Amino acid sequence: MIKHVTLRLAAATALAVSLSPMMAPAAMAQSYVPDRVKKSVETEDLVAIVKSLGHTVDETAVFGDEGERSVRATDENGVTYLLIGTACDAGDVKGCQGIMMQVRYDLSEGVTYETVAKANIQQAALNTWVDFEGGTLGFTRYQVLDYGVTMANIRENVKVLLDVYPLSMDIATGKDTGSE
């Protein structure tokens, strides 16, 4: 009896070990591991970053000619933001080699090209932009993943966007004139 159990255990272990290389990529892509180095990201990686922050994933999508992957999420303060994988499936690299992180608002009074330029000068960590025709005021942080970036670093870049954009918004909308 012990011999049968030992043989079954050995067979089950061998099967698990032989299948683990096939299962590992899927399992790894769906979890946040701070020190995991990413040279590209898939939708599942972006979702893992959002969830690691305790935020809610509202929607995921694939769009555009390059198959950009996007995640729309909401933080604990009700701020909606986007994580958009860019430079996707380029060359021999599977996945997206860049991440555009954005917060967008409906355009409000007080926004001019001058206030947007001032916001960009005062808060260089973000790109503040305006689309007057589309009625959008936006804030973008872009991260290049070439040669690898840890998931913790990607997460921190999202936090920088969410921490800094209110300062840029105040300047862009004319509520804060910023330091001269």
Strands 68-74 and 80-88: antiparallel
pTM: 0.79
Q: How far apart are CA 2 and CA 43, in angstroms?
A: 47
Residue 6 pLDDT exceeds 60 = no
pLDDT, tens digit, 9 for 90 and up, residues 31-76: 999 999 999 999 999 999 999 999 999 999 988 877 789 999 999 9
Distance CA 34, CA 17 (A): 25
Q: List, in sequence order, the alpha helices (H) in the chain.
A: 2-29, 43-52, 113-122, 151-172
pLDDT, tens digit, for every residue of 147-157?
999 999 999 99
For residue 144 the two structure tokens come to 């290049």
Q: Which residues pair with 27 in a beta bridge?
A: none
Taking 60 as the threshold, does the pLDDT of residue 29 lie above it?
Answer: no
Task: Find the largest Cα–Cα distance for the chain.
Answer: 83
Is residue 95 a contact partner of residue 88, using CB atoms and an 8 Å limit? Answer: yes
- Report CA torsion sign: 155, 96, 55, 32: negative
